[in-house]
Chain A
């Protein structure tokens, strides 16, 4: 190990006496890149904040955080301020919220520079160049005049302006588009190398961590479950949870026969203080997992795991011979036929002549980054906005200007196409119980098409008792199931899914994707799956359409497009998906 820079030992973070982060150890050597990986609620971000001494005032930290031998827990603001920026930098998740809207990009960098260089315009230009911004005029722009990727570059330049020895990057690319994510990660890796700076990378994405980090530490319910060299973890996880996470990752190179999520959801740290935190969701649980908290034990060279037992290799699934394939075009013609669809917002062209065809029961992926027009297309199909030109035919009916049809006609057509939105916490009415939401949705369909509440809940794998609950009692994955149930309540022929797993954890994502596949194969509902995630699209679609600047640039069978992309842009997209050479143990 290189010189030790940061040593965290026995770190706790509590909210009103209740532990959220419990006994976390962490070491970062100088020049080393360490990944802190976990799902939401794992405490990874709070650990990072505690290291920087920037916990929200309602939280208190205990234990010890030593930076080059100086204790930071309990240190005064005066001491902490000397460390922040100059020795420890922090980069946060959302480039849209991280910069002061009233200051220019240059001002952010200048105010963070060491004393004496703050008035030096050339220094700001140099710092911008370091993060790949060669146009010096960017220094005079305000954040709202910059794209997300540019803002994140400016933020990186500002975080690095004080030349810290350690940069804590808290999910620095989660809010960005896939290709931009890739660029920013490459940039961080390049800067890390050229500066010889240590990086603590907080991420929910195992693939990113394995690709960029020397060592990875897996957190769960506020504690560390496993840590070790990236390669060792990737090839032979030493904890059932790590194995579960790896198995749940969809791969862009292949379509999994079955997507394995991890059952259940993350418990609160305080509820599992005296047992193995993962025991309730673990497939190889023994009695003593519940009676005592397993300590971290040394597995092999430098690898620690909080599991008493050797991890059993993932059970090989008895594979059905082939993945359900697309249905052949039916005698009645396509379910959805879009021709030359155009949409303009003022001067901006969102859709520029899009053709699209979905057969009944088919699964079509619509891939593109923000601004590609994929959401506008979905909104046109749903009849939420009027196209500026072209036509939409749904089940043989012209629905181009659905909003302007007579109300009775709309009531007939609208149930045919339903939508599942990205964020279930905002797409469900918080004031209504699940049952009321589902019944309200079903009432919109014709009598014979209504699905009773109990039936749709069963369809999406939720117990019927959930009908009485309000959304705030449900986890993110459960809310999304309810949202899917709501869409299915009117027996739609086409289900539009707009990034339905983008705000979910990877272990939950697998469940939802599996559910959508089942809905398609058992109910015959056609899917239009809108996403920027190629690994996800590979799992749930037969054909894909790639959208760029409102135009279809490539279309074809999902597997062949992803394996041998024809368009430059598709190639870039495929290349930006982080991959790691997984082991045999995690074959899925």
Chain B
């Protein structure tokens, strides 16, 4: 099995999955009470004619399959329609918000891995020591606090009381320090626990003892033996977390008033902005699939058993 084959297989799955996703989202929004015209008009008084005009504008009165088909053919040619609320092409609305979310997600996952993996390894290698107990306890605390709670504490401490970082805005990297930290806290705890468990498991393996018995340098054992073998389960978790961050860190974006995809999705659902919701959901699905594909490819790089296919048992 090689990279190209894996990628091709995945692509087929992507098409099926995205189609299913789009039908389901479309159907759910169509079934839900209310329509975008109410969101657009708000409390303003309106005549039935106005409403009919709006409904006609967005083809809302046509039967569901027809509407979905129109949307689909448009989407396939790259036209995801226009946002009802923003009155702009959906792609440009998303394009405006995307950098905020990718910056936040990238920053957070970087923090998570940079802190989580070394801390988890350290805890696992020095099992039951003071360091291990300290780290394990900290992860418990970090997991117990919800991200928006952490967000408020961080905002108050570093933004308001100490005034080290700005509390509002989204154009400078310093704007992202607190949100990324808030997002990364719980995730770091998960990565630490995963790495620690993996390191403990690897540390008890005969091949580590055998490596020590051959007098290999400590760094080599930590790198080639502990870290590489422990990396496999950690990769999976890191992939899931990254996908989650990219598709919308809703709470943290709200708490820091960051105009990212998470807050956009909430807004779009509230306003029944069907084209926008549709595009955001598909983007989410695509991101999850892409990240998983990357994780699988990373597995192939790290683990020869996956690369060569464990079924190819060679001769003696």
A99-107, A378-386, A456-464, A471-479: which lies at the B interface? A99-107
How far, in angstroms, from A145 to B315 measured CA to CA in the complex? 7
With A98-B207, A101-B305, A102-B303 in contact, is A54–B212 under 8 Å at CB? yes
A-B contact pairs, 25 of them (CB 8 A): A52-B213, A54-B209, A57-B127, A77-B218, A83-B215, A84-B212, A85-B213, A85-B214, A86-B215, A90-B210, A98-B210, A100-B207, A101-B304, A102-B229, A103-B224, A112-B214, A112-B216, A141-B314, A144-B305, A144-B308, A145-B308, A145-B313, A145-B314, A146-B316, A155-B210
Q: Which of A77, A89, A147 is the one whose CB lies under 8 Å from B213? A: A89
Please list the residues of chain A having a beta carbon within 8 angstroms of any beta carbon in chain B.
52, 54, 57, 77, 81-86, 89-90, 92-94, 97-104, 111-112, 141-142, 144-147, 149-150, 155, 158-159, 161-162
Contacts of A93 in B (CB 8 A): 206
Interface presence of B10 (CB below 8 A): no
Q: Are B214 and A161 in contact (CB under 8 A)?
A: yes
Interface presence of B205 (CB below 8 A): yes
Q: Are A101 and B206 in contact (CB under 8 A)?
A: no
Contacts of B114 in A (CB 8 A): none
Q: Are B308 and A142 in contact (CB under 8 A)?
A: yes
Interface presence of B225 (CB below 8 A): yes
Interface presence of B302 (CB below 8 A): yes
Contacts of A83 in B (CB 8 A): 215
How far, in angstroms, from A90 to B211 measured CA to CA in the complex? 10
Q: Are B304 and A111 in contact (CB under 8 A)?
A: no
Interface presence of B67 (CB below 8 A): no
How far, in angstroms, from A146 to B315 measured CA to CA in the complex? 7
Contacts of B225 in A (CB 8 A): 100
How far, in angstroms, from A244 to B139 measured CA to CA in the complex? 55
How far, in angstroms, from A97 to B312 measured CA to CA in the complex? 19
Residue of B nearest to A138 (CB): B314
Residue of A nearest to B304 (CB): A142
Contacts of B210 in A (CB 8 A): 90, 92, 98-99, 155, 158-159
Interface presence of B220 (CB below 8 A): yes
How far, in angstroms, from A141 to B316 measured CA to CA in the complex? 11
How far, in angstroms, from A92 to B211 measured CA to CA in the complex? 11
Contacts A54-B212, A111-B214, A146-B314 given; 20 further ones with Cβ under 8 A? A57-B127, A84-B215, A89-B213, A92-B210, A98-B206, A100-B207, A100-B229, A101-B229, A102-B229, A102-B302, A103-B224, A104-B304, A111-B224, A141-B314, A144-B304, A144-B305, A144-B308, A158-B214, A159-B210, A159-B213
- Minimal beta-carbon separation of A313 from chain B (angstroms): 42
- Minimal beta-carbon separation of B102 from chain A (angstroms): 32
How far, in angstroms, from A81 to B224 measured CA to CA in the complex? 17
- Among B208-245, those with CB < 8 Å from A are 209-218, 220, 224-225, 228-229
Residue of B nearest to A101 (CB): B305
Interface of B is mostly: helix
Interface presence of B310 (CB below 8 A): yes
Interface centre among B207, B220, B225, B310 (most CB of A within 10 A): B207
Contacts of B209 in A (CB 8 A): 54, 90, 92
A-contact bits for B274-315, CB 8 A (1 contact / 0 none):
000000000000000000000000000011110010101111
Q: Which of A111, A147, A155, A159 is the one whose CB lies under 8 Å from B316? A: A147
Residue of B nearest to A148 (CB): B316
Interface centre among A98, A158, A162 (most CB of B within 10 A): A98
Contacts of B220 in A (CB 8 A): 111
Contacts of A145 in B (CB 8 A): 308, 312-314
Contacts of A142 in B (CB 8 A): 304-305, 308
How far, in angstroms, from A93 to B213 measured CA to CA in the complex? 13
Contacts of B216 in A (CB 8 A): 85, 111-112
Q: Are A54 and B229 in contact (CB under 8 A)?
A: no
With A97-B205, A149-B316 in contact, is A102–B304 under 8 Å at CB? yes
- Minimal beta-carbon separation of B237 from chain A (angstroms): 19
Contacts of B214 in A (CB 8 A): 84-85, 89, 111-112, 158-159, 161-162
How far, in angstroms, from A97 to B206 measured CA to CA in the complex? 6
Q: Which of B213, B224, B314, B316 is the one whose CB lies under 8 Å from A100? A: B224
Contacts of B127 in A (CB 8 A): 57
With A102-B302, A112-B216 in contact, is A144–B206 under 8 Å at CB? no
With A111-B220, A145-B308 in contact, is A81–B206 under 8 Å at CB? no
How far, in angstroms, from A147 to B205 measured CA to CA in the complex? 19
Contacts of B302 in A (CB 8 A): 102
How far, in angstroms, from A99 to B302 measured CA to CA in the complex? 16
How far, in angstroms, from A86 to B205 measured CA to CA in the complex? 22
Q: Are B310 and A97 in contact (CB under 8 A)?
A: no
How far, in angstroms, from A63 to B22 measured CA to CA in the complex? 72
- Minimal beta-carbon separation of B167 from chain A (angstroms): 46
Contacts of A98 in B (CB 8 A): 206-207, 210
Interface centre among B205, B210, B216 (most CB of A within 10 A): B210
- Minimal beta-carbon separation of A161 from chain B (angstroms): 7
Contacts of A99 in B (CB 8 A): 207, 210
Q: Which 9 A-B pairs have the closest CB atoms?
A: A85-B215, A90-B213, A84-B215, A147-B316, A145-B314, A97-B206, A85-B214, A112-B214, A142-B304
- Minimal beta-carbon separation of B121 from chain A (angstroms): 16
- Minimal beta-carbon separation of B2 from chain A (angstroms): 16
Q: Are A144 and B215 in contact (CB under 8 A)?
A: no
- Minimal beta-carbon separation of B222 from chain A (angstroms): 13
Contacts of B314 in A (CB 8 A): 141, 145-146
How far, in angstroms, from A101 to B304 measured CA to CA in the complex? 8
Contacts of A77 in B (CB 8 A): 218
Contacts of A52 in B (CB 8 A): 213
With A98-B206, A111-B220, A145-B313 in contact, is A54–B213 under 8 Å at CB? yes
How far, in angstroms, from A83 to B127 measured CA to CA in the complex? 25
Contacts of B310 in A (CB 8 A): 144
How far, in angstroms, from A144 to B306 measured CA to CA in the complex? 11
Residue of B nearest to A78 (CB): B218
Contacts of A144 in B (CB 8 A): 304-305, 308, 310, 313
Residue of A nearest to B212 (CB): A54
How far, in angstroms, from A77 to B220 measured CA to CA in the complex? 15
Residue of B nearest to A99 (CB): B207
Contacts of B308 in A (CB 8 A): 142, 144-145
With A92-B210, A97-B205, A101-B229 in contact, is A82–B316 under 8 Å at CB? no
- Minimal beta-carbon separation of B131 from chain A (angstroms): 14
Q: Are A81 and B215 in contact (CB under 8 A)?
A: yes
Q: Are A94 and B206 in contact (CB under 8 A)?
A: yes
- Minimal beta-carbon separation of A170 from chain B (angstroms): 10
Residue of B nearest to A83 (CB): B215
How far, in angstroms, from A142 to B314 measured CA to CA in the complex? 10
- Minimal beta-carbon separation of B202 from chain A (angstroms): 10
How far, in angstroms, from A111 to B217 measured CA to CA in the complex? 10
How far, in angstroms, from A98 to B209 measured CA to CA in the complex? 8
How far, in angstroms, from A142 to B207 measured CA to CA in the complex? 14
Residue of B nearest to A86 (CB): B215
Q: Which of A82, A103, A149, A150 is the one whose CB lies under 8 Å from B215? A: A82
A-contact bits for B85-103, CB 8 A (1 contact / 0 none):
0000000000000000000
Contacts of B207 in A (CB 8 A): 97-101
- Minimal beta-carbon separation of B128 from chain A (angstroms): 8
- Minimal beta-carbon separation of B277 from chain A (angstroms): 44
Contacts of B211 in A (CB 8 A): 100
Contacts of A111 in B (CB 8 A): 214, 216, 220, 224
